[in-house]
Amino acid sequence: MFYRLGGLLALLGLLAAPAHAQLITDPARAAAARDTLLHQAAQLRLRAEQTSLNFNTNARGRYRRRVVVTGFSRQNSGTLPTAGVRQMQWVPDNVAWRHITRYRRNGRVMERYRLTMGHQTLLSERRLNGTIIWLSIPVAYSNAMGTAVRHRGLYLRTGYVMLDKDQYVLPKPLQ
């Protein structure tokens, strides 16, 4: 029981903001931080899907409520001359993506997308009816698939953005 409590306290300590961190409420800077995260996520997703060798799906029937599409990509590490013949050597970089789409009976479409390299998550995203409700880029820098990830961050649909170490609050839309 104590190890669970210790793990929970360690997790809360990691998630707690440092004493000097403050919420930035400037709408222009918050929108720029959100756009930076969304642009970086779109680049990662596009590059992963473009470099995929193939993909697998479970959508064999017409009326599936849960459709899972998985793919992986490999990059060419170069050529090795062997016995006078140039051969391509393919070394997997373990870049894999998984896109789960759930069609609910009430008409909602829930999507989850995860991009991983090895055992490290590069991108995690959730959508509801096509709008992003949660987006996470947990790594600070990775040269995965030729795309440089310069920022890490978190975006919540409720109006909170965390880019690197800065925390932003997006203005609420008028109703």
pLDDT tens digits, 27-82: 999 999 999 999 999 988 888 888 887 888 887 766 788 999 999 876 544 444 44
Q: pTM for this one?
A: 0.72
Q: How many domains does the chain have?
A: 1
**Which residues, 6 or more positions from 56, have their beta carbon under 8 angstroms from its beta carbon?**
69, 70, 71
Establish if 101 belongs to a structural domain: yes
Torsion of CA 58, 60, 61, 67, to 10 degrees: 30
For residues 70 and 93, what is the distance between their CA atoms, to the nearest angstrom?
16
Separation in Å, CA 91 to CA 54, 73, 94: 16, 10, 9
For residues 7 and 112, what is the distance between their CA atoms, to the nearest angstrom?
27
Percent of the chain with pLDDT over 90: 37
Domain holding 69, by residue range, is 24-74+86-166
Establish if 111 belongs to a structural domain: yes
Q: Residue 58: its pLDDT value, please?
A: 84
Establish if 162 belongs to a structural domain: yes
